[in-house]
Structure 1
Amino acid sequence: MPNANDTFITTLRRAHLEWGSYRHTNSRGIRLGEGYLQIPISEARRLQIYNRNQVGGNTSYTCDSADGFLNHVVLKSSGCIRRGDIHAKQFHGRGNLQLLGDWFNHVDAQIGDEVEIRWTSPTHMVIRKL
């Protein structure tokens, strides 16, 4: 689990900004405005950020954005790079896949922009577009 002041930076790609429409699967229909934050596997391992495959692992984090647009929203850690892996590969809005897409729009996020994720406690983070 992350500690206060742990941090990492992720670089936005098209798939992160257009998750609901730029897809390599037909598992569901197109949904505009969805977005997610990638968690590099090295950071997921270092910070012990888990997905639902880890029994007893935390997958919900309270999040604020440094610009004040997001205020105590809940992000979920999910996905994995290999089937059955316990480490998460992304954060997305719990129950609202457009949550981060709305923030990306608010901060005018573009492909190649960087986002800093900093923890203030093991279950609370602040995100900031650099």
Structure 2
Amino acid sequence: MPNTNDILITTLRKAHLEWGSHRHTTSRGTVYGEGYLQIPIAKARLLNITNSNLNGGNITYVCNSSDGFLNNVELKATGSMASGNIYAKQFQGSGNLKVLGDWFSLVNAVIGDKVEIKWTSPTQIILTKL
């Protein structure tokens, strides 16, 4: 689990900004407005950001944004680089895959922008578009 004041900076790509429409899968239809934040595997290991493959691990984070748009929103650390891997590869809205897409829209995020994820406690984060 990350520590208070840990920081992760991630760079937005098209797939992060257009998750629901820019993908190569037929598992579900196109959904506009979805978004996620990538967690590079090296950072996931360094900060110990785990997914549901780790029994008893934390996957849920309370999220705010420095601009005030996101207020106590629940994000989940999900996905993995390989089946069974315990390290998460992304943050996504819990039950609302559009919550980050809405924030990206509000802050006019574009490909190449950087987002700072700062832990204010081991289970709370604040997002800032840099």
TM-score (norm 1): 0.99
Matched with 1:25 is 25
Matched with 1:68 is 68
CA distance in 2 between counterparts of 1:5 and 1:53 reads: 25
Aligned partner of 2:81: which letter?
I
Q: Secondary structure at the match of 1:117?
A: strand
Give the 5 Å matches for 1:1-130. Answer: 1-130=1-130
Q: Give the ranges of 4+ consecutive aligned residues of structure 1 lying more than 2 Å apart after TM superposition.
A: none
TM-score (norm 2): 0.99
Q: CA RMSD in A?
A: 0.5
TM-superposed deviation, 1:122: 0.2
CA distance in 1 between counterparts of 2:22 and 2:76 reads: 21
1:76-102 per-position Cα deviation (integer Å, ceiling 9, x unaligned): 000001111000000010000000000
CA distance in 2 between counterparts of 1:16 and 1:105 reads: 12
Aligned partner of 2:120: which letter?
T
Q: Secondary structure at the match of 1:102?
A: helix
| Unaligned segments of structure 1, at least 5 residues | none
TM-superposed deviation, 1:116: 0.3
1:32-83 per-position Cα deviation (integer Å, ceiling 9, x unaligned): 0000000010111011111110100000000000000000100000000111
